A and B are shown apart, each in its own frame.
Chain A
Amino acid sequence: MSEPKIIGILGAGRVGTAIARRALAAGYEVRVASSRPASDIALVLQFTAPGAVAADASDVIAQSDVIVLALPLSKYRSLPADQLAGKIVIDTMNYWAPTDGTLTEFEGAPSSSEVVADYLTGARLVRSFNHMGYHEMDGEARPAGDPDRRAMAVAGDDAQARSIVADIIDRMGFDPVDAGRLANARDFAIGTPVFGAPLGRHDLQAALRAPLAA
């Protein structure tokens, strides 16, 4: 595909609005949907991500080049798998059993993203944005080459989708680090040393290298 221009975000909570702000700052058009009516989200976006457009989920999916999943993981089965098939989809969701309750299919799963990928048959799923706090995304974005620039891991089985998402991350103000296949997403899941840690590119590469080589 040609370079993406429109980022669609499903979820208008803390994560969704933080990513919307970064995407707008990077020059993308941004569409946002959630479980609430578009008119409700429009008011929220007016203050939390001015410039982003509220729409219904099916319109957001149909009109956007890349879709970001920023809803609570417990709601992932509300996603329309048929509409997302063939789309580049970024999974930012985390499994927080201590706060969100137990979801049996995620218990013991190597990474939540593989469970989501199984559900979203045909989607070009990329795992990223999950190991940085939403409260850090605004303050930590830096131009390329800045010595304090934070890094984000990118995993997925579709190499082209991975590279497109890496480019988006770069434009948003972070160094993308290619983590390879989706199965490697377990190396930056909750509970790993990478999760929530303020790492630059070299440190993140080093943290991911060992499992990648294995």
Chain B
Amino acid sequence: MELGVYSFGDVQRDPKTGELGSTAEAQRNLLEAIQLADEVGLDYFGIGEHHTREMPASAATVILGAAASTTKNITLGSAVTVLSTDDPVRVFQQFATLDALSNGRAEITAGRGSSTESFPLFGHSLNDYDDLYAEKLDLLLKLNDSEEVTWEGQFRPSLNHALVVPRPENGKLPIWLATGGNPNSTVRAAIAGLPVSYAIIGGDAERFAPLAQLYRQAVEQVKVPGADTRVSVASPGFVGDDAKAAKDLWWNHYHEAFRALGEIRGFPAPQRPGYDRDANGKGALFVGSPEEIADRIVALHGAMQHDRHFFQMDLGQVAQKDFLRSIELLGTKVKPLVDAALAQKADAPTEAV
């Protein structure tokens, strides 16, 4: 199973003054994090497009492009590209270029994104939310299928035998469909022959297991030739040397991030009992010691059989040194434990299940 990290490029916060650090520094920190993730053997690093002062990773492919030349093995992706407010031609060209520079390690994750700052920024209306996404996904998939495209839509000038280059190293870019759990999105991914990425950010993580079953059943029914049917899970998570210290440290950041978001969206700040419930057992917050996180990943794998699990660790201005330590532990401690447990499971006689 693949393990990885995703980030929206959280800025630092000065522990003494409480002041937010620079948005420029945040980009360099992200590059440093990707390099470490590659060095410690992690499989995937995703950058989520975001346009706020606290999370300023607005140009993911630029950072990933820099990482392409300083890393060797890690898959470099967007998690997520807010496709609705971008030009699919530009998105494709940038990721195909990234793919070339990284020798075939680029992926796109397309989604609507939960933050909507990019709509006014690029002159789009939230009232077109569904239509924008459907149309742009359609074009992006066509661009991935062939280098010459003829296409017509509502939100972008038509293309008439347009040549779109460079082409991906391995024929096509993996394009994942990201969803927060709407069952229709799961079916949409299966019908399009696309791999699906579940964002599980709260509550009981296993409640997504029926969606993974739905996805596989729909895949079976539609039988798209050449379909990529992988399933991934993205969730908040943080690994520390000590379970309690990790949960206590990360609580401050988690609380701050969701308090701030709640102020905008109109929900109350999170409370510690809810956090503790989600940060243990079957909850969606994978925060704790390496052994604990490995056990919880393996348990969720039993329910979902997902192919990749990646974690948002730097949420709410986590200090860079803590972020890097968490990445290191995920690669050096959690990954070997998960690999060993899943290998053992695969070897076990079926009646033991």
Chain A residues with CB under 8 Å of chain B are 12-14, 17, 34, 36, 40, 43-44, 46-48, 74, 96, 98-103, 133, 135-136, 138-139, 190-191, 193, 195-198
Cα–Cα distance between A20 and B204 once the two chains are bound (Å)? 18
Looking at the complex, which of B8-16, B23-31, B169-177, B206-214 is the stretch in contact with chain A?
Answer: B206-214
Q: Are A190 and B214 in contact (CB under 8 A)?
A: no
Q: Are A46 and B214 in contact (CB under 8 A)?
A: yes
A and B contact pairs by CB, cutoff 8 A, 23 listed: A12-B183, A13-B183, A43-B214, A47-B183, A47-B213, A48-B210, A48-B214, A99-B114, A99-B265, A100-B126, A101-B125, A102-B126, A135-B202, A136-B203, A190-B265, A190-B267, A191-B266, A195-B266, A196-B262, A196-B267, A196-B268, A198-B271, A198-B274
Q: Are A13 and B214 in contact (CB under 8 A)?
A: no
Question: Counting CB contacts under 8 A, is B154 at the interface?
Answer: no
Q: Are A14 and B221 in contact (CB under 8 A)?
A: no
Cα–Cα distance between A147 and B342 once the two chains are bound (Å)? 39
Question: Counting CB contacts under 8 A, is B218 at the interface?
Answer: yes
Our pick among B183, B266, B271 for the contact of A44 (Cβ within 8 Å) is B183
Q: A101-B127, A135-B207 in contact; A96/B265 too (CB < 8 A)?
A: yes
Cα–Cα distance between A151 and B16 once the two chains are bound (Å)? 41
Q: Report the count of interface residues on B (CB-CB < 8 A).
A: 33
Question: Counting CB contacts under 8 A, is B70 at the interface?
Answer: no
Chain B residues with Cβ below 8 Å from A74 are 127
Chain A residues with Cβ below 8 Å from B184 are 12-13, 34, 36, 44
Question: Counting CB contacts under 8 A, is B22 at the interface?
Answer: no
Cα–Cα distance between A195 and B182 once the two chains are bound (Å)? 21
Chain A residues with Cβ below 8 Å from B262 are 196
Q: Which of B126, B262, B264 has the most CB of A within 10 A?
A: B126
The 6 A-B residue pairs with the shortest CB-CB distance in the complex, in nearest-first order = A101-B126, A135-B203, A190-B266, A191-B266, A196-B267, A47-B214
* CB of B271, distance to nearest CB on chain A (Å): 7
Chain B residues numbered 246-296 whose CB sits less than 8 Å from any CB in chain A: 262, 264-268, 271, 273-274
Question: Counting CB contacts under 8 A, is B318 at the interface?
Answer: no
Q: A43-B221, A44-B214, A47-B217 in contact; A138/B204 too (CB < 8 A)?
A: yes
Cα–Cα distance between A14 and B204 once the two chains are bound (Å)? 14
Our pick among A43, A102, A138, A197 for the contact of B187 (Cβ within 8 Å) is A43
Question: Counting CB contacts under 8 A, is B181 at the interface?
Answer: yes
Our pick among A34, A36, A43, A136 for the contact of B218 (Cβ within 8 Å) is A43
Cα–Cα distance between A195 and B267 once the two chains are bound (Å)? 6
Chain B residues with Cβ below 8 Å from A99 are 114, 116, 126, 265
* CB of A201, distance to nearest CB on chain B (Å): 18
Cα–Cα distance between A17 and B214 once the two chains are bound (Å)? 13
Cα–Cα distance between A12 and B271 once the two chains are bound (Å)? 30
* CB of B10, distance to nearest CB on chain A (Å): 20
Chain B residues with Cβ below 8 Å from A36 are 184
* CB of B255, distance to nearest CB on chain A (Å): 14
Cα–Cα distance between A8 and B95 once the two chains are bound (Å)? 45
Question: Counting CB contacts under 8 A, is B155 at the interface?
Answer: no
Our pick among A34, A46, A101, A195 for the contact of B268 (Cβ within 8 Å) is A195
Chain B residues numbered 184-242 whose CB sits less than 8 Å from any CB in chain A: 184, 186-187, 202-204, 207, 210-211, 213-214, 217-218, 221
Cα–Cα distance between A17 and B125 once the two chains are bound (Å)? 28
* CB of B131, distance to nearest CB on chain A (Å): 12
B202 to A, closest residue via Cβ:
A135
Q: Are B217 and A46 in contact (CB under 8 A)?
A: yes
Chain B residues with Cβ below 8 Å from A101 are 125-127, 129
Chain B residues with Cβ below 8 Å from A197 are 268
* CB of A94, distance to nearest CB on chain B (Å): 9
Chain B residues numbered 118-134 whose CB sits less than 8 Å from any CB in chain A: 125-127, 129
Chain A residues with Cβ below 8 Å from B187 are 40, 43-44
Cα–Cα distance between A102 and B267 once the two chains are bound (Å)? 18
* CB of A144, distance to nearest CB on chain B (Å): 22
Q: A43-B218, A101-B127 in contact; A138/B207 too (CB < 8 A)?
A: yes
Cα–Cα distance between A14 and B186 once the two chains are bound (Å)? 12
Chain A residues with Cβ below 8 Å from B218 are 43
Chain B residues with Cβ below 8 Å from A43 are 187, 214, 217-218, 221
Q: Are A48 and B211 in contact (CB under 8 A)?
A: yes
Q: Are A17 and B207 in contact (CB under 8 A)?
A: no
Cα–Cα distance between A96 and B267 once the two chains are bound (Å)? 11
Cα–Cα distance between A100 and B112 once the two chains are bound (Å)? 11
* CB of B192, distance to nearest CB on chain A (Å): 14
Q: Which of B186, B203, B211, B271 has the most CB of A within 10 A?
A: B203
Chain B residues with Cβ below 8 Å from A44 are 183-184, 186-187, 214
* CB of B115, distance to nearest CB on chain A (Å): 8
B201 to A, closest residue via Cβ:
A135
Q: Are B127 and A102 in contact (CB under 8 A)?
A: yes
* CB of A148, distance to nearest CB on chain B (Å): 10
B221 to A, closest residue via Cβ:
A43
